[in-house]
Amino acid sequence: MRKKIVAGNWKMNLTKDESIKLVKTISTEIQNQNIKNNRIIIAPVSINLHAVLNNVGNDKRIEYASQNMHFANNGAFTGEVSASILKGIGIYITLIGHSERRVYFNEDTVLLKKKVDQALNNNIEIIFCFGEELEDRESKNQLKIVENQLKNTLFHLKDSDWKNIILAYEPVWAIGTGMTASPEQAQEMHAFIRNLVAKNYNETVAENVSILYGGSVKPTNAKEIFSKPDVDGGLIGGAALKAKDFAEIIKAIC
């Protein structure tokens, strides 16, 4: 059965000491919270992952992910991080396909497919991000865009691979803009995504995959968004950098 998940993507923010302090504060904020069968995942800057694990990895309710991973296991790829390097410091989750990687680093579906395969070959769980631009939404083309993004990067996988896939729908027009899809818009897209997985695989795979919403989730709207039947939590950006806000969002799934 799929789990509810709150994942925090810190992007290119926070020094080592700031990262450690923030995790400690989040841990304190939720110390009396019953997390139940839910998951909390945080993705700091890659260079700080080892320090965070060493200093605050004792709170087993919190898992850690890399924001990025290269498609090769080693080689002349200056500045990149491989699956084996991540596993070497105890990281077994990675984000792939975030809109900022697609836009600023020109990551297309061919490259993303390679990353997906490499992660799964190394038993690394994937938070796979996808979503439409504002112009796609305004032209009512959002469903086709999302379908193509999934079809071209994930739908070659075996049924068994999906146990290591978390989907994160992020309407690009709602990331860091203050704009947010309504709970009804989020539910409509998430239901479409789940039906798409069922159509290409089966109902079991579709019902077991967690689908997160990622688009300006805040303490004030989290509970309503997460209450929708096909929304299984959120991939949080800005609010993940504020301990109290992130803790309130965590409480909204519990």
pLDDT of amino acid 138? 84
Are the C-beta atoms of 93 and 124 separated by less than 8 Å? yes
Express each pLDDT in 101-141 by its tens digit. Answer: 999 999 999 999 999 999 999 999 999 999 998 888 888 89
Express each pLDDT in 85-105 by its tens digit. Answer: 999 999 999 999 999 999 999
Catalytic site includes residue 190 = no
Query: Residue 177 above 80 pLDDT?
Result: no
Edge-to-edge strand ranges of the sheet holding 233-236: 62-64, 39-43, 5-9, 233-236, 211-213, 165-169, 125-130, 93-96
How many structural domains does the chain have?
1
- 100, 107, 132, 170: which one is catalytic? 170
CA dist 203 and 35 (Å) reads: 27
Are the C-beta atoms of 171 and 132 separated by less than 8 Å? yes
- 70, 98, 132, 248: which one is catalytic? 98
Q: Which domain holds residue 201?
A: 5-251
pLDDT of amino acid 176? 67
Catalytic site includes residue 170 = yes
Express each pLDDT in 7-66 by its tens digit. Answer: 999 999 999 999 999 999 999 999 999 988 899 999 999 999 999 999 998 899 999 999
Q: What pLDDT band is residue 215 in, cutting at 50, 70 and 90?
A: confident
φ/ψ (deg, to 5) at 15:
-75, 180
For the chain, what is the mean pLDDT?
A: 95
110-114-116-120 Cα dihedral, nearest 10 degrees: 160
pLDDT of amino acid 174? 76
Pick the closest to residue 95 from 53, 45, 24 (CA basis).
45
Going by their DSSP bridges, the two strands 125-130 and 5-9 should be labelled as unpaired
Are the C-beta atoms of 117 and 160 separated by less than 8 Å? no
pLDDT of amino acid 128? 98
pLDDT of amino acid 78? 96
pTM of the model: 0.96
Are the C-beta atoms of 248 and 27 separated by less than 8 Å? no
pLDDT of amino acid 45? 97
Query: Residue 178 above 90 pLDDT?
Result: no
pLDDT of amino acid 36? 86
Sign of CA dihedral 191, 166, 240, 215: negative
Q: Strand pairing partners for 169? A: 130, 213
The CATH number assigned to the domain holding 230 equals 3.20.20.70
